[in-house]
Every structure is written in C-alpha cells, then in structure tokens.
With several copies, the nearest count.
Chain A
Amino acid sequence: MVARVQAAPFDLAAELAGFGAGAGAQVTFTGIVRDDSGRMAALEIEHYPGMTEAALTAHGLEAARRFGLIDWRIVHRHGRLEVGAQIMMVATAARHRRAAFEAADYLMDWLKSRAPFWKREIGHDGSAHWVEAKASDEAALDRW
C-alpha cells in the first residue's frame, strides 16, 4: 500500500521483498523508456509535487477496494530518464490472478491519463518536445 515519486531508479526485487504476504497472485508492470524514432536520447518527466503522491495513493486505495487487493505498490520516476531506463512500476497482489491482472491493468490506464505527469522527448540533437496525450489512453479508462 505504497505510492512513491522519485528521481532515483527503483529495484523491482527490492520493491517486492515482503510484498503481498498471503496472496496467491502477484502482477507487476514496468514501463521502460523506448525510442521509436531512433532520434530520442531520453525522456524528461515533470510532475506536480504535492498532488502526485496523494493522487497515486488515493487511486491505489480505490483499486484495492474495487479489486479486493491484498497489497499494491506504485513507483513513478521523474526527471531525465535515458532510453532503456525504467519509468515506473505497478505491483498488485490478490488471492486470485484475475483480480491481480485487472487491478494492474486498471492502475496503468489511470496513470496514463489521470496522474499528473508530463513527458518531454529529448533528441540526440538536443531538441525537446512534449509528448501529446493519446486519445486511446483516455479511451482506455472508459473500459472500467
């Protein structure tokens, strides 16, 4: 039942130590900086200090109620992240696999379109442009 925003990398194994005791199913999602264009050097992630952790915590708790989670964890990084670096992780633990999968999927859909983070792509040539929100990310949340 932990949400954190940090500049430092996270260690998935350390995050899962002692996570979800009593659960039968654990699901993790890890997002990684991907270079689709071949021109990107890094992402820069801005967030809304004060709002971010509170919003992540409130939403984790809501997902826990909704899907009957035994445990959950959200870690999201900010600042400059090179291609190949971890951006964020979500972990969910439940008695059964369906709840663990659905809760992780739901938390990701929520994070993509409702959590106060903004990404900027930094090119090898020093260029920078803000990543636009995808209509598909907004629409994904309507599934729930």
Chain B
Amino acid sequence: MTVDVLYFAWLRERIGQPSERVETEAATVRELVAELAARDAWHAAAFADMTAVRCAVDQELADLDAPLAGAREVAFFPPMTGG
C-alpha cells in the first residue's frame, strides 16, 4: 500500500524532509519504523530512540503496535509541547 509519512520538529530536521510517500507492506507502525530506519543514516538517526518518538495514524495519536491496514497518512514527531 501507499502511505504518506510526515515528520515534525527534530524528526523533520534529522530526516531532511517534511514528508515522503512510501510503498510498504508493514502491518503495524513498528514494522513501518523498521523499514524506514533501514533506508539511510538520517532515518536511522531519527528513529534511534523510539521512546522519544510519538506517532499519529490518519491524524489520530497511535502507539507502535497500531495496525496500518487502510492508513493513508502516518506522522512521526517528538513528544508534544504545546500550550
């Protein structure tokens, strides 16, 4: 399936782009992260410490074990600091 992957804050900076379109058969967010981290050193650095990474699937907060079936947009970002 085709998924738009979005990056925010320092993940965006580390990876060097705000988004990319990926072809994946990953069943969960965790499997998608493994695929992305294997791409290059920048992706690997961004996903090196997953305790510092949060995720949203189709704009809803999700955890690493969330299923990806049917997802169109997956976003990765650091813990939020609004307000």
Asked if chains A and B are in direct contact (CB within 8 A), the reply is: yes
* Residues on the A chain within 8 Å of B83, using CB: 31, 76, 87-88, 97, 108, 111-112, 115, 117
Name the A residues within 8 Å of B80 (CB-CB): 112-118, 133
Whether B59 and A51, one on each chain, are in contact in the complex, defined by CB atoms closer than 8 angstroms, is yes
Size range of the chain B interface in the assembly: 10 to 19
* Interface membership of A46, Cβ < 8 A: yes
Chain A CB within 10 Å — which of B75, B77, B79 has the most?
B79
Chain A residue nearest to B82 in the complex (CB): A117
Complex contact B59–A55 (CB within 8 A)? yes
Q: A109 to nearest B CB, angstroms? A: 9
Q: In the complex, what distance in Å separates the CA atom of A77 from the CA atom of B77?
A: 19
Name the A residues within 8 Å of B79 (CB-CB). 113, 132-133, 138
**Chain A residues close to B by CB (< 8 Å):** 31, 45-48, 50-51, 54-55, 76, 87-88, 97, 108, 111-120, 130-133, 137-138
Question: Which 7 pairs across A and B sit closest by C-beta, in order of nearness?
Answer: A117-B82, A133-B79, A118-B9, A51-B59, A111-B83, A112-B83, A115-B82
